[in-house]
C-alpha cells in the first residue's frame, strides 16, 4: 500500500508538471541557456591585457624581447602616451607599461644585471599576478636564449607537462562544474514553486485530508522532480558534448549513479524551502540566495576550496554541489573511476538523508 501511494503521488506530480507547458519549456530551456552563458562567457585565463612598451634601447635584442612579450597571446599593443612614465596606466589606456633602458642589451651581453622597468595596474589583483608571472617568465626565457651559459649555470632544467588537460581547454574545467551549479538550482526551484503553489491555491488541503503520510508525500514529490532533473541533466550532457566537446573519460558508472543521487539531494532542499515558505516569490528568493551563493562561492566551481577562509571552509562540507562538481570533473577530465569518486557519492547520500529528515520533520504533523 505504501509503495502504491508513493507511485500514485509520483504520477500525479508528473501529470501536473506536464500540463504546465510553459513550466516544462522553461524547465528544459533555461538550464541550456545557463550552460551556454556560463560555458562561453566565463574565462579564467587573462587575455587581451593592454601593454605599452617604451623601447629606449632600439636594438635587435630589445625588439626580439618585445615580440616575445606579445607572442604570449596574453597582451595586446597599447599606445604610449605622454612623457610621464605611468601616463598610459593613469589614463586607463594600458594595464602594463614596460620601459627598456638604453643600456639593456649591453648589460645582458656583458653578463651583468639588465634592469627593466615594469609598472602593472594593481586594481585587478588576479590579472596583475598573472601579468607579473608572464613578464618574469618571458624575460627569463629571452635572456636564457641570448646567453646559453645562464642555463648551464643554473644546473637544473625542468620538463613540465600538463596532465589530463594538456591543451589547457577552459571548457574542460568550466562546463563539468556548470553541470553541478545548474542542477543544484533548477530542480529544487521547480519543486519549491510547485509545493508553494499548492499552498496558495489551497489544493494541499486535499493531501492533508488524504491517507498519505508525510514520508509518502515527500517521497512521491521528490522522486517526480528527480526524474525531471534527470531529463535536464541528460540535455545538459548532450549540449556539453556537442558544443564544448566535453565527453566521459573512463568508467561512466560513477556519473550514472551519482547524478540521480545528487539531483535527489538537491530536490530535498527545494522541499524544505517549499515547506517553510508560503509564497512563490519567497521560495524563489530563498533558492536564489542559498543555492546560487553556495554553488558559486563554497563549491569550488571557480575558486579552489583551499582558498576559502575559516569558518566558511567548514561550511563548504555541507554543500552537496561541491561533491558533484568534483565528481563531474573526475568523470569528464581525469577518469579515475570509483577509486577517486566513491567517497563523493557517500557524502551525497549522507547529506540527502539529513535533508529528507529535516523535510519530514517539517511535514510530520500535516494531517493535524
Is the pLDDT reported for residue 35 higher than 90? yes
Is the pLDDT reported for residue 82 higher than 80? no
CA–CA separation, 108 and 113 (whole Å): 6
29-38, 135-144, 173-182, 293-302: least confidently modelled range: 135-144
pLDDT digits (tens, 9 = 90+) for 312-345: 889 889 999 999 999 999 999 888 888 888 999 9
Is the pLDDT reported for residue 37 higher than 50? yes
Place of cell 656583458: 110
| Residue 131 · residue 89 · CB < 8 Å | no
| Residue 17 · residue 228 · CB < 8 Å | yes
CA–CA separation, 348 and 365 (whole Å): 27
Q: What is the mean pLDDT of the chain?
A: 84
Instruction: Extract the C-alpha cell encoding 235.
Output: 540535455
Residues in the chain: 368
**Which one, of 6, 5, 365, lies nearest residue 219 by Cα?**
6
Place of cell 496558495: 200
Amino acid at each position: 500500500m505504501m509503495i502504491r501511494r508513493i507511485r500514485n503521488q509520483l504520477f500525479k506530480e508528473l501529470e501536473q508538471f506536464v500540463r504546465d507547458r510553459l513550466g516544462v519549456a522553461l524547465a528544459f530551456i533555461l538550464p541550456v541557456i545557463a550552460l551556454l552563458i556560463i560555458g562561453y562567457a566565463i574565462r579564467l585565463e587573462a587575455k587581451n591585457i593592454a601593454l605599452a612598451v617604451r623601447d629606449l634601447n632600439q636594438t635587435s635584442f630589445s625588439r626580439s624581447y618585445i615580440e616575445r612579450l606579445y607572442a604570449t597571446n596574453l597582451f595586446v599593443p597599447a599606445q604610449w602616451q605622454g612623457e610621464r612614465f605611468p601616463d598610459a596606466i593613469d589614463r586607463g589606456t594600458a594595464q602594463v607599461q614596460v620601459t627598456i633602458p638604453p643600456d639593456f642589451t649591453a648589460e645582458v651581453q656583458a653578463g651583468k644585471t639588465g634592469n627593466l622597468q615594469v609598472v602593472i595596474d594593481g586594481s585587478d589583483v588576479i590579472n596583475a599576478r598573472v601579468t607579473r608571472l608572464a613578464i618574469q617568465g618571458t624575460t627569463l626565457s629571452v635572456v636564457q636564449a641570448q646567453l646559453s651559459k645562464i642555463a648551464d649555470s643554473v644546473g637544473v632544467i625542468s620538463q613540465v607537462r600538463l596532465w589530463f588537460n594538456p591543451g589547457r581547454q577552459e571548457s574542460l574545467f568550466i562546463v563539468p562544474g556548470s553541470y553541478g551549479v545548474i542542477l543544484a538550482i533548477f530542480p529544487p526551484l521547480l519543486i519549491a514553486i510547485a509545493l508553494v503553489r499548492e499552498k496558495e491555491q489551497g489544493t494541499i488541503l486535499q493531501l492533508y485530508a488524504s491517507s498519505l503520510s508525510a514520508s509518502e508525500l515527500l517521497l512521491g514529490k521528490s522522486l517526480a522532480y528527480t526524474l525531471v532533473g534527470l531529463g535536464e541533466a541528460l540535455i545538459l550532457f548532450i549540449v556539453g558534448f556537442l558544443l564544448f566537446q566535453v565527453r566521459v573519460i573512463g568508467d561512466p558508472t560513477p556519473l550514472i549513479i551519482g547524478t540521480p543521487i545528487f539531483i535527489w539531494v538537491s530536490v530535498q532542499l527545494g522541499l524544505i524551502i517549499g515547506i517553510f515558505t508560503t509564497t512563490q516569490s519567497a521560495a524563489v528568493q530563498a533558492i536564489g540566495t542559498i543555492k546560487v551563493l553556495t554553488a558559486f562561492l563554497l563549491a569550488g566551481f571557480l575558486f579552489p576550496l583551499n582558498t576559502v577562509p575559516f569558518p566558511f571552509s567548514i561550511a563548504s562540507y555541507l554543500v552537496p554541489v561541491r561533491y558533484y562538481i568534483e565528481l563531474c570533473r573526475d568523470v569528464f577530465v581525469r577518469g579515475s573511476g570509483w577509486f577517486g569518486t566513491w567517497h563523493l557519492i557517500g557524502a551525497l547520500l549522507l547529506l540527502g538523508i539529513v535533508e529528507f529528515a529535516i523535510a519530514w520533520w517539517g511535514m510530520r504533523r500535516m494531517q493535524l
